[in-house]
Structure 1
Amino acid sequence: MDNIRTAAIVIAALVAAAVFVRWRLLTRRRVLGSPADRATYETLHTASLAAPALRRGLDAESAALALPHVRTLLGGPIVAITDLHDRLAGDAPDVTELTADALASGRTQASDRAIVAPLSVEGRVVGSIAVVTEEASAGLARATTEVARWMSSQLELAELSESRTALMEAELRALRAQISPHFIYNSLGAIASFVRTDPERARELLLEFADFTRYSFREHGEFTTLAEELRSIERYLVLEKARFGDRLRVVTRVAPEVLSVTLPFLAIQPLVENAVRHGLEAKDGDGTVTVVALDEGVECVITIEDDGVGVEPETVRDALSGHTTSASVGLGNVDERLRTVYGDEYGIVVETAPGHGTKVTVRLPKFHPGAESA
C-alpha cells in the first residue's frame, strides 16, 4: 500500500512539473539554449530546493523556507502559505474570504486579483497557498493549483515518514518487551551462580550484562551500525555461554567492509537469541551458533545458523505473517521493520526443518537513504 501511495505521489509531482514547464515557457523570455530545456531545468531545480522544507511537514519554519521557491515557481507574485488557522509565511492581503472558502471546499478559489489553492494530505485539507497579482489569469490559476498539488505531495511524504517512524518505534518497544524478561532472568541467574565460587567472573559478567542492557534499551535512534549490533551480540553470547558452559559453541566470520553498514536497531540480535533459545535450549548435548556477515557488492548478507532442534516451516510462516508464537522471539517484528525500511524485496529468509537446525538470512543494501545511524 505504501509503495502504491508513493508511486501516486511521484506521478502527481511529475504532472505538476510538466505544468510548471508550460507556465514558465509562457511567462519567461527566451534565453541561451533550448527554451524547453532551460525551463525544465529551472522548474525542477526550484522544486528540488523547496522540497526538503516541505517534507518536514507544514509549520512556520518550513513554510518560510519553502516560500521563496514557491514564489519563483509561480513567476514572482505575492504569495502566502497558511495552515488551517494562521498565516505561516508571506504576506497576501485581502484574501481572508477566499482562503476560508478554499479551506472549506477543498477547491481553488479566485477573484480578479487573487487565487487561493488548498493544500491537502490524504484527502484532508491542511492549509493553502494564496497568490495576489495585478491580474489573476486562468493560466496563473492553473499553475497555482498544480503547485499546490505538488506541495501537497511533499507534505504527504512528510506524514508518511512520520507514520513510519512512529510505527518502527512502537514495534521496537514491543520487541524489547518480548525479549527482555526471559534473557534478564537467565542472565542474572547465571551471574548469581558465580558470586561465591568465582567473584571475579561474576563481576565481569555483570559488566557485560550492564553494557548489553544499556545498548538494548537505549532511547535514541532507529538505526545502528552492524559493528555496534555485533558488539551487543557478542555480549549476549558471553552471558549465554556462562549459562550453557561448554555446551554452547560460537563461530563468527565478519568481513571488515560491512562493519559500517547501517541497519535498523535490534535487527540481528533477536535472530541470534532465537538460535540459542529455540534452537539449542531443547537440544541434548552441544550446539553451535554461527554468525556470518559478508560483503556482496552493493549488499551485505548476514546469516545466523544453529544446529539445534529446528521447527516446522509452518510455524515460521505463522511468525512471519505476524501471528504470535512461542517458537519465535520477534521474528515477524524484525521482518516487518526490514521491509518497512528497505522494501518488500528485503526482509528475512528462514530455512528450517525439525531435527535439522535453522538458518536465517538477512540481505541489506550497504547504502540506503532512509537508514541513518544515530
Structure 2
Amino acid sequence: MSTVLAVTAAVVAFAAGVIALLRLRARRGIATSVQRATYEVLRTAGLAAEPLRAGLTEAAATKSVRHLRRLIGASGLALASPTGVLAWDGTGEHHRDQILAARKTVLDAGDLSCDRLDCLIRGAVLVPLQTDAGRVGTLIALSDEPPAPGLVQAAVETGRWAATQLALAELDSSRDRLARAELRALRAQISPHFIYNALSAIASFVRTDPKRARELILEFAEFTRYSLRAHGEYTTLAEELRSIDRYLTIERARFGERLQVRLQVAPEVLPVSLPFLCLQPLVENAVRHGLSRKPGVGTISIVAIDSGAECHITVEDDGVGMEPRALLDAEESGDGQHVGLSNVDERLRSVFGEEYGLVVETGPGAGTKILVRIPKFHPAVRS
C-alpha cells in the first residue's frame, strides 16, 4: 500500500512539475502589449500595401481601404482618384459630395456640417497622394469629432506611406514598359544583321543544291517567326535553343566547315523559363565578332547545367576576343558591333535582380566566354 502511495505521489509531483514548466514557457511566449501593437500595425500595413502595389485602381482601393482605416483609427475612410471616390469604408459616405468638392486642396482638415440628425461625423482630414507623376489621388479620413492633431498626423503619415506604395507601383509599371520596349528594340536590332547574310547563303544554293536551299528557307522562316513573334516576354530554354539551332544551321551554310558547334545541355534544365531572346544575341555576337574575323576553323560551345536552384548557361567561342574595355566602349557607343549584350544584361537584371547580369570573360586572342545564371523558379516569370 505504501509503495502504491509513493508511486502516486511521484506521478502527481511530476505532473505538477510539467504543468508549472508549461505555464512558464507559455508566460515567456506571451508578447508584451507594445509587441502586440507593433505586430498588428505591421500586419495591417502589409495587408494594405499588397493591393496598392498594383496602382490606385478601384479594385486596389477596395481591398486596401479597410486596412488604411484601421491604421489611422478613423470613423470612416475613403480613397479618391482625380475623377471620383474609388472606395469607402466605415461611416460618413453621405458626405461624398462635400469630400469631392474639397479634395482639390493640398491638405485640408476641418469640420463637416450635416443636416442628418443621425450623422455622427464631425470632421475630415484630406491628404493628397503624391508620386513622381504628380497627385494621383486623395486619402480622406473622417472623424466623429472635430479633427484632433493626433488624427491629422496619423492621416498625413499614412497618406505618405500609401503614396510610397503607389510610387513603387509606378516604378514596377515603368520597368515592365521598358522591358517590353527593349525586347521590341532587340527584335529590330537582330533581324537586319542576320537577314542579308541568310538570304545570300540561301541564294548560293538555289541552283547548285535546290533541296538544301528549300530546307534553309524553311529554317529561316521558322527562325524569323520565333524571333519576331508578338506575344510573350518569356520562353523556355528548350525553345530558345531550338531557335539558336536554326540560326546556326543557316550560319553553317554560310561558313561551311569553318564553323563548328558544341552543345551540352542537361535535360532537367530544358523546361527552365527565361526572358525571350536572351541567348540568341550571345550566340550571334560569338559568330559575328568572334569567329567571322578568325582565319580557319572556329568553335562555339553552348553549355547548360543544373546548379541547384539555378541553371548556369555559358556561350563560349575561341575567336579573336578583344580588350574588355573595348567591349564596354562598343556597348556604350551603341555602334552595334556587339549585338544586344547590354540589352540582355539589363533585361536579366530587371527580371531576376542585380546579381543576375551577364558575366563576360574576354581578351585579345583568348576568345569570349559569357555566363548566364537563371533561377530555375521565379514568381515573376511564366513562359
Give the TM-score normalised by the residue count of structure 2: 0.80
**Structure 1 residues 126 and 208: alpha-carbon distance in aligned structure 2, compared to 1, 3 A threshold:** same
1:301 to 307, 312, 321: 312
Aligned match for 1:313, one of 310, 316, 324: 324
SS of the residue aligned with 1:194? coil
Q: Does the CA-based 8 Å contact 2:312-2:373 persist in structure 1?
A: yes
Which of 313, 332, 337 aligns to 2:342? It is 332
The alpha carbon displacement at 1:274 in A equals 0.4
Match runs of 1:165-244 below 5 Å: 165-244=176-255
Map of 1:274 onto structure 2: 285
Let me know the Cα RMSD of the aligned residues. 2.5
Larger radius of gyration: 2
The alpha carbon displacement at 1:339 in A equals: 2.5
Q: Distance in 2 between the 1:216 and 1:108 partners?
A: 55
With over 3 angstroms needed to count, the CA separation of the structure-2 counterparts of 1:293 and 1:110, relative to structure 1, is: farther
- More deviation, 248-257/110-119: 110-119
Secondary structure, counterpart of 1:116 in structure 2:
strand
Contact 2:84 2:100 in 1 (8 A): no
Give the match for residue 42 of structure 1. Answer: 40
Q: Which residue of 2 aligns with 1:119?
A: 129
CA contact (8 A) 1:50 1:70 kept: yes
| Identical pairs, percent | 56
After superposition, give the CA deviation of every residue in 1:13-35 in whole Å (9 maximum; x if it has no partner).
xxxxxxxxxxxxxxxxxxx8643
Q: Which runs of 5+ in 2 are unaligned?
A: 1-29, 112-121
Distance 1:319-1:364 versus aligned 2 partners, 3 A rule: farther
Give 1:110 shift: 4.0
Tell me the distance in 1 between the aligned counterparts of 2:47 and 2:221: 46
Match of 2:14 in 1: none
**CA positional deviation for 1:270:** 0.1
Inter-partner Cα distance in structure 2 for 1:123 and 1:173:
25
Q: Which amino acid aligns with 1:109?
A: A
* Deviations 1:214-269 (CA, angstroms, capped at 9, x unpaired): 22112223322322222221221122122222221111112233333332221111
Q: Deviations over 1:296-347 (max 9, x none)?
A: 2333222111111222322112134x22235311122222222333343331
Secondary structure of 1:345's partner?
helix
How far, CA to CA, are the matches of 1:207 and 1:66 in structure 2?
Answer: 53
1:62 to 60, 63, 74: 60
Q: Are 1:373 and 2:371 matched, yes or no?
A: no
Give the Å deviation of 1:286: 1.3
> Is the CA contact 1:74–1:144 (under 8 Å) kept in the aligned structure 2?
yes
Equivalent residue number for residue 369 of structure 2: 359
Q: Secondary structure of 1:327's partner?
A: coil
Distance between the aligned counterparts of 1:225 and 1:104, measured in 2?
51
Q: CA deviation at 1:88?
A: 1.8
| Partner residue in 1 for 2:9 | none
1:146 aligns with 2:157: yes
Distance 2:302 2:315 in 1: 5
Unaligned runs of 5+ in 1: 1-31
Whether 1:129 aligns to 2:127 is no
Change (3 A) 1:99 1:301: same
**Which residue of structure 2 aligns with residue 348 of structure 1?**
358
Alpha carbons 1:99, 1:116 under 8 Å: kept: no
CA distance 1:246–1:120, change in 2 (3 Å): same
- Structure 1 Cα separation of the partners of residues 108 and 342 of structure 2: 45
Number of the residue aligned with 2:13 = none
Q: Matched residues in 2 for 1:220 and 1:109: separation?
A: 49
Cα 1:133–1:104, aligned 2, differ >3 Å: closer, same or farther? Answer: closer
**What's the CA shift for 1:77?**
2.3
**Range that drifts further, 226-235 or 263-272:** 226-235
Q: After superposition, what is the alpha-carbon deviation per residue over 1:277-297, rounded to whole angstroms, capped at 9, x for unaligned?
A: 111112222111001122223
CA–CA separation in structure 1 for the residues paired with 2:344 and 2:55 = 28
- 1:97–1:76 distance in 2 versus 1, CA, 3 Å: closer
- Bigger shift: residues 255-264 or 129-138: 255-264
Separation of aligned partners in 1, 2:159 and 2:71? 11
Structure 2 counterpart of 1:120, one-letter code: Q
Give the number of aligned pairs. 340
Structure 1 position 160, deviation (Å): 0.2
- The amino acid that maps onto 1:363 is R
Is the contact made by 1:108 and 1:117 (CA closer than 8 Å) also made in structure 2? yes
